[in-house]
A and B are shown apart, each in its own frame.
Chain A
Amino acid sequence: MIPAAWICLFAPLGAAIAITLAGNRLSRRAAGYLATTSVLVSFVAAVVSFAFLLGDPPDNREQYSTLWHWLTAGPYQFDLRILVDPLSTFMMLIVAGVGFLIVWYSIGYMDGDDEERRYFAYMALFVFSMLLLVQGGNLLMLLAGWGLVGLSSYLLIGFWHERPTAIAAAKKAFVMNAIGDATMALALFILIQRDGTLNFEVVFSRTGSLGTWAANLVALGLLGGAVAKSAQLPLQTWLPDAMEGPTPVSALIHAATMVTAGVYLIVRTNALFEAAPHVQELAAGLGAATLLMAGLIALVQTDIKRVIAYSTMSQIGYMFLAAGLGAYADAMFHLMTHAFFKALLFMAAGIVIHALADEQDLRKMGGLRQYLPKTYWAFLVGALALTGIPPLSGFFSKDALLAPALAHGWYGQLLWVAGMVGVFLTGLYTFRMLFLAFWGEPSPFVQEHFHALKRDVVGVSLAVPVGVLTVLAAFAGWIQVYNFWTPISNWLDPVAPPLVTASGLQEAATSVIAVALALTGIGVAWWIYAARRGEAPRTLPLLQHKFYFDELYDALFYRPAVFLATGLYRWVERPLVFGSLRELAAAVRELGFETRSIQTGLVRTYVLAIAASLAVITIVFVVVR
């Protein structure tokens, strides 16, 4: 089991290195196959680990494995170690499995791009980083994976580096992630100082000795990192811009895996968060606020990928809500189903974009149902799953998320209301997108620019993963049904025992109301966008400007920084630094000029120098004697 875990971790890294070193000797398609195969190997290894772990008794499912002692300094020692336990195998399966499908899909999507090899190297690097994050056996490995994932995201968002918008988006993502990294590092410093190590088993068992101040700071630091990585309030502005990257990147990184790392973090370090209950409640509150805000903004977006991006932001808000209230297994369950149907939506949208020669504007689309029937069905399944219509997967996971909130007291009930409003909004914006793109008469743009996909390697690589995900999005929800059948909760129980469980009545009530609200949302969308019997209300500027967060951060951080930088340049760097250098050079030159006058060329001068020196030396000798 342990060797399988290590193979799972390092296979994608090997592929990334191999592609980088092979360079032009590897054909572009071969690079794609290499990357895909390595992630498949990863997935198989993850399945093997999972199978072996299943064979262990439930209370003995925590296996650490150290490769070598990485940092040793005095009493501190940090190792390169991984952990194979229920939570990490759960994540390994999702990351490797969905990753494999998406990398396979990329072979078709990125076909013909000049820099395909670089793309696949980056994708393999990303899968490795994400696996390191989820498999890390101490907080330092987790942080290492965290940083590497941020790097891969930067590299992949800015993949088409000739576009200035892509570069700017990559920088924005990286800077906001770096803020999270910084707060996380500070939290880790406190932990090192208090506990002397970052190993999970020590840190999680000693939370009692932290003291309230330290516990709150640590939890806040970790929450900062989670918020940055998962694009929650207040660090959410980078996610929509990240859609500048290729669609498979959006599917893998910004829907299925990287942005869910924040949720994973909270679930993994639940002991630390439970030691700081107010911070945990803050996490839930941020999640709720984000899901509402994102849902509202998604209503007015015109770019198909951005609608899905805001939808991701909103769904992760749900997961934060659940994790913040202590329903860890439910959050992870939703993470799994969300990975399936969100990746599916992105990939289907990718097929649409490809078919329309890279057009992403919803207003130009219409009637694609006739042109891309299979894609339409895939998209429909994804949309229904997202909205939470039974019997698709989203129904089981989303209701399981919201029901425990009712059991948490007045705060939880408030959040429950927010979640319900979010369900309505989800139905509305999702089906707005679907109706605009696929229903109605084919728009002139579509008629002019549509070209069908061929049934070759590219076509297969685009179609099969979408098909697989459609099936998963439809049926994966049946793996956990309320309180009747809870394999996921049982599986994750040793690692993250839930703080709240909903009663049967709360669950039933939640389900009914949620489905009703979802259907209402779909109905309103149909009324306005499909049947065209109603007029869409005028869009609020507040929503169109995404609640003015970008402008706020621009005024709050960017402008002062630029002002400070220009000021420093003009008043400090130019006069002081350049000036002093210039003065120094001038002084040296002057000194040389003066010294030149000693060389008169006359022998007399030199003899005079000798005579004068003699006179002086004589005095010295006389005095010393």
Chain B
Amino acid sequence: MHGLFSWSRKWWPGVILLVAFWAIAAWTNTVPLEADLAAKGSAALKDAVLDKTQVSVDGRDVTLAAEAFSQEGRKNALAAVEAVAGVRLVNDETRLVPEAKPFVWSAERDVTRVTLSGSAPLPASKAKLLDAGHAAVNGVEIVDQMGLARGAPPRFEDAAALLLTQVGKLKDGKVTISDISVSLSGMARDLGGREAIAAALKDLPEGFKVTANDVKAPPYVFQAYKDPVAVTLTLSGYVPDDKIHAAVAQAAAHKFFGEKLVDNLKSSVGAPSGFAPAVIPALGALARLSTGTLVVSDREVKLSGDALYEGAAAEIRAGLGKDFPNSFQYTPEISVKPASAPVDPTVCQQLFTDLLSKGRIRFEPSRTTLDPDSIALLDRLIEIALRCPTADIEVAGHTDGDGEDGFNQELSQKRAQVVVDYLVKAGLPASRFTAVGYGSTQPIASNDTDEGKAQNRRIEFLVR
């Protein structure tokens, strides 16, 4: 042992060479060692949920800079790097992602793009929301302006994904989550879109509540155009359902006569309440016009065109009757058709006969009240009467063969008088008209069939 001590005092010259080895080893190995530790450190953080991660190595000391989403995640990340073989120290430069209060996220859609902004709770949720956005608005550019923040409410991702699906139903607008409050604004893409969005919002995860849903529906438009040249009535736009569609088509068939019905209506939800009670009287007013357009847009009813004479124009301007719903706004733009050239009484008779062969003046069954659907026909008769101001006209009432003769005669007389009163009220001189009731004495068809009876129940205009 003593020998070993005495020999060891002579070992120092080798240390000079050893120091040289040390220097060369340090010179050549430092950078590779640092690179190796950096790679292993990064690999150890592969599964850690971090943002802005930076691993830098100085010798065997690793500096970890990152933003973590929880204290636990932060500790786990540090532990993972410390566990890497060869690491001497870990300098902790991690911090928690800032907490957003309130936690706000939004998606805004305009003509060209959808912009996602506000905060997302995790990088993975950001990616998930971008995917949901692409799926919702296929082909539209998605702009990601989302940051990361803590403080998201539970099931935030599900709520945001559901709202992104609704963005697909918007033409433009914005959806926002602020903590647990959800608000929406903008314009729905299609009719019924607003209702579809409102229905979908019922599936929001528990805890979220809709504080404002200001999504507007596109205008619900119904249009009717009376074309006197093509002799057509064209209906286009929307009706709420098949039942109302049938009711509108039936009303058009009753109120118009001679015009061919072109029905381009489609069914869609989203109609304002009181749609049918507003549209049907408006169609009646359109029927009285020589040419005209009816546009019902949401609760606005706009009727424009030419009335046949001044009295009719005034009546149409005055309103659409007591059944027209108050919630609708009626805007008439009615002018009067220029008076047609006067004609001989014989031509007048021809015009009356032609017109009454196309349509009949109707009354309520067994009563003397004019059917409102006949007003358009009466307007046309008045227009003809105005063209032959010198002719005296007999208004002749006829009934079918049913019932007693006395009753029929009286009924036909009264109905003829009602027509005369209507003409006088419209501004024609009472002296030109005589009301005569013929009862069932002058049938023009057999009273044995319903069809024949219907032909026999009639009002005729005879120029005397």
Instruction: Please determine whether chains A and B interact with each other in the same assembly.
Output: no
B interface residues with partner A (beta carbon < 8 Å): none
Question: Which of A's residues lie within 8 Å of B, judged by CB?
Answer: none
